[in-house]
A and B are shown apart, each in its own frame.
Chain A
Amino acid sequence: MRRYEMISIFRPGLGEDEVNAIVENTRKIIEDDQGTVICCARWGMKKLAYPIKKEKQGLYYFYEYTASPAAISEIGRKFRIDDNVLKYLTVKIADDISAEELQAAIADNGKRHAAFLRDESAESAAVPEADAPADDDSDLATETVSE
């Protein structure tokens, strides 16, 4: 299993249900392929550096997981079909991950992301989205699933 991280940008006008549906779908693809979701964090609404599909803002989601290349291409295919996903980026972190490393990654994930989000919320205070910091807090307890 390879270790990946992925960022996806959703359309800002989406309802909670639609966003959750996409996130769950992604999780399902990973798990059907014997992968593991290490973390799934909501970065919240951010201003895009350039408009994508005529949208100036986007809802950022960050995932970290282990999966096989086949699952990655399947996720990419789904994202490209789905009009609500503005853009996505998958980056391979490691070619292989051992069971212990995986457990360690899951354990230390919450902390790392809490720190990252704190930096981000200070920076993105100018973004006209008042409820973003509140949302971040509720999602800090990142859902983790172990094998």
Chain B
Amino acid sequence: MQQGKQPKKLFARKKVCRFCTDKELTINYKDAKTLTGFVSERGKIIPRRIIGTCATHQRRLSEAVKRARHIALLPYAGNPQE
């Protein structure tokens, strides 16, 4: 049990949902600037386990990103070299 606990303590960092903490920050598919913070360089949606958004906001976020992609505000597959 002790073996398991030690590395956890070293690396565990409390992740908080950015949309819950910052009420000013809204999810809108027209606001590509905010959405780019939640996609990888390649344009993929960053999973919840990494970025820490809550389930409700992650759901709305993914919907918004998909709409933004449809209307060419965000890439479906970005190329970091470009």
Contacts and interface: CB of A to CB of B under 8 A. Distances in A.
A14 B71 CA distance: 19
Contacts, number: 32
B67 A89 contact: yes
B33 A58 contact: no
Contacts of A62: 30
A50 B72 CA distance: 6
A49 B73 contact: yes
A136 to B, nearest CB: 15
Interface residues of B, number: 14
A107 interface: no
Interface string A39-53: 000000010111010
A26 B41 CA distance: 37
Contacts of B72: 9, 48-50, 52, 58, 87
Interface in A8-60: 9, 46, 48-50, 52, 58
Interface of A: 7, 9, 46, 48-50, 52, 58, 62, 87-89, 91, 116, 119, 123
| 8 closest Cβ pairs, A-B complex | A49-B75, A48-B72, A89-B71, A49-B72, A7-B71, A50-B75, A49-B74, A89-B70
